[in-house]
Structure 1
Amino acid sequence: MFHVKPRGVVVETDRVAAQVFGDRLPLAEQYAALLAGAGVERGLIGPREVDRIWDRHLLNCVVVQELLPESSTVVDVGSGAGLPGIPLAIARPDLTVVLVEPLLRRATFLQEAVDALGVSVTVHRGRAEEPATRTAVGGADVVVSRAVAPLGKLLGWCLPLARVGGRVLAMKGSSAEEEIERDRNAIKRIGGDNPRVLECGTTLLDVPTRVVETERLPGRGARKR
């Protein structure tokens, strides 16, 4: 286990962090300290990322909450250091969040972080494409993922975890439109509908977070709710 030491928010992100996390900002500060400490020590965050934890990681992730309906079930695929799942769970205690991560050292960090922060989050160690994972965490309202794989491959993993009519929100950069056009036919074959690029945090961040939203159509193995 590791000890949580609260750390102040950097001046540049002060106002935005307070706005998006509200009275749960101290938890976000604790999580930032974990990333800067144990996260770096265990190789989940690069040393050069420490000064950018807030703007490049926490705030970039948490603004995706704009796309999450109240009381949604959210599955974070390839969670790594807990991004975007933990910032979303901190800002939105109404959400039911599951972190899916196949690597033991990362899953161990995630469980210790969740326990230390006291947030209501479940950690599932496994790969998204495995039947056991689909059984354990499938039927989500929303599946989120950040920089895990090319869009077509990523949706092949994520769409089966969403309920019929549920959505996958894939955080992408400048290549989002190109990936949609390249993988459009493949996305349709695997049960995805109407992939489109949305921007989150447009009034908060200098560079808004870009997300590819894709709806899950009925198909083999899909769950209804």
Structure 2
Amino acid sequence: MIDQNRLLQKAAQLSLDHVPVQALDQYAQLLVEYNQKVNLTAITDPEGIEDKHFIDSLLFAAQPEVCGKVVDVGTGAGFPGVVAKLYKPELELTLMEPTGKRVEFLRYVCAELGIQAEFAKERAEEAARKIWREQFDVATARAVANLSMLAEYCLPLVKVGGWFIALKGAGAMDEVQGAQGAVKKLGGEFVKSKDFVLPDGSLRSLLFYKKISQTPSVYPRNGGKIAKAPLK
């Protein structure tokens, strides 16, 4: 499916080592086959999968802050969470996804790849009112919403001292500026940004937020309020 040598070369250029290319190749095949019956991704060509899904997710996984209990919010087809688990098998991974058909795929692909994970068929704003509130060392999300909304989805799931790491494209620092007030209300603090150029030339920023205090009980609000009136 994918070109394993090409993926290794791309990974090496970004200082990514011990990349599990055989498992990723199997993942790509399962993704493309399943995508024919359930809409999981618009990216189905081998090089697109390598760049947009795998390298992107590996850059997240390789960060030293990514450890312990990790929740991937709105994970869709498993990016970056499943790739992170393949890269760091010691992670305790929770895949949070509200769409039942996608959760079925996640269960299937994890079983095929020999991955242990928890599957939470939940919206993040509802999950944070249940057993998952402030339970994770790391919460991450990719291409789910703008940063103010994303912070309200993710920070309530993170324990004090943990990290919210957002995967963003071009214009990430503009979003950081716009989300400052929201992040502060939710108990977070912006620490740093790491910027990369993916092999296809597109930009990727990893935004790191430290959870410095408990999220007030009024957050997260319901999904409609989060979307209509993002925190400022």
Whether TM-score is above 0.5 comes out as yes
**Off by >3 Å, runs of 4+ in structure 1:** 16-21, 47-51, 68-71, 131-134, 204-209
Question: Shift in Å at residue 34 of structure 1?
Answer: 1.4
1:35-80 CA distance string (max 9 Å, x none)? 2221343111126555400111111111112324475211100000
What stretches of structure 2 of length at least 5 have no aligned partner? 218-232
The corresponding residue for 1:215 is 210
Question: Shift in Å at residue 27 of structure 1?
Answer: 1.1
User: What's the secondary structure of 2:164's corresponding residue?
Assistant: strand
The corresponding residue for 2:33 is 37
The corresponding residue for 1:128 is 124
User: What's the secondary structure of 1:123's corresponding residue?
Assistant: strand
The corresponding residue for 1:198 is 194
What code does the residue aligned with 1:186 have? A
Question: Shift in Å at residue 157 of structure 1?
Answer: 0.9
CA distance change for structure 1 residues 17 and 122 in 2, over 3 Å: closer, same or farther? farther
Q: Is the 8 A contact 1:171 1:210 kept in 2?
A: yes
CA distance change for structure 1 residues 117 and 21 in 2, over 3 Å: closer, same or farther? farther
Q: Could you tell me how far apart the structure 2 residues matched to 1:158 and 1:78 are? A: 10
Question: Shift in Å at residue 137 of structure 1?
Answer: 6.5
User: What's the secondary structure of 2:49's corresponding residue?
Assistant: helix
- Percent of counterpart pairs with the same letter? 28
The corresponding residue for 2:3 is 9
Q: Is the 8 A contact 1:28 1:87 kept in 2?
A: yes
Q: Could you tell me how far apart the structure 1 residues matched to 2:38 and 2:21 are? A: 25
The corresponding residue for 1:100 is 96
The corresponding residue for 1:145 is 141
RMSD, aligned CA: 2.6
Q: Figure out how many residues of one structure are paired with residues of the other and give that number.
A: 214
TM-score (norm 2): 0.81
Question: Shift in Å at residue 26 of structure 1?
Answer: 1.4
